[in-house]
Amino acid sequence: MLVVGSDHGGYELKMAILEMLRDKGIACADFGTDGSDSVDYPDYAAKVAGAVSSGDAELGILICGTGIGMSISANKFSKVRAALVHDEFTAQMAREHNNANILVMGGRVLSCDQGKKLVAIWLATEFEGDRHQNRLDKITAFEQQATTQ
Ligand code: RB5
């Protein structure tokens, strides 16, 4: 299950991505927002990152105006690796090296066509594991330290 959320700054791109995912037959859920009225991005980051953190969803996509607020918010949740991507290379690396389980984009940075392309690349790319897994294990250790401090 792939869950998708945005604020008003990412609404248009979110709707374009949901349409693409449904056309491809990929199971997905829309966690809002539901229009262009101004909302607070942390509320939507919490819905998507919370679902990924709990294991209710395997993957998530978050979009705000720049992607910055969504990435800061989502990475506060344990087990979340949210990657803000801007182009084809960063979308590929987000999975190949970082095994990002949430893809973050800026709806005021990318066109809908660009955003859809980055999602397709992230979904099609495989994590390389190996030395990259060692690095992710070190990040996981930070989470465990934080909960004991
Ligand atoms: C909303 O105006 C804007 O601040 C938000 O979409 C995002 O870019 C925050 O990082």
64 carries an active-site annotation? yes
**118 in Cβ contact with 91 (< 8 Å):** yes
Reduce the DSSP state of residue 137 to 3 states and report it.
Answer: helix
User: What pLDDT does residue 55 have?
Assistant: 98
Q: What is the pTM of this model?
A: 0.97
Domain residue limits, the chain? 2-148
2-148 belongs to which homologous superfamily? Sugar-phosphate isomerase, RpiB/LacA/LacB (3.40.1400.10)
Q: In what order do the strands lie in the sheet with 28-30?
A: 28-30, 2-6, 59-64, 102-106, 82-84
Binding site membership of 9 for ligand 1 (Cβ less than 6 Å): yes
What's the one-letter identity of residue 89?
F
Report the largest interatomic distance among the alpha carbons of the chain, rounded to a whole angstrom.
46
Predicted pLDDT at 129: 93
Whose CA is closest to atom 3 on ligand 1? 65
Q: How many angstroms is it from 105 CA to the middle of ligand 1?
A: 11
The Cα 101–Cα 88 span in angstroms is 17
Tokens of 148: 């004991």
pLDDT of residue 58: 98
Q: What is the pLDDT along the chain (149 residues), one digit of tens a residue?
A: 999 999 999 999 999 999 999 999 999 999 999 999 999 999 999 999 999 999 999 999 999 999 999 999 999 999 999 999 999 999 999 999 999 999 999 999 999 999 999 999 999 999 999 999 999 999 999 988 887 76
Q: What is the pLDDT of residue 147?
A: 74
The residue nearest atom 10 of ligand 1, judged by CA position, is 69
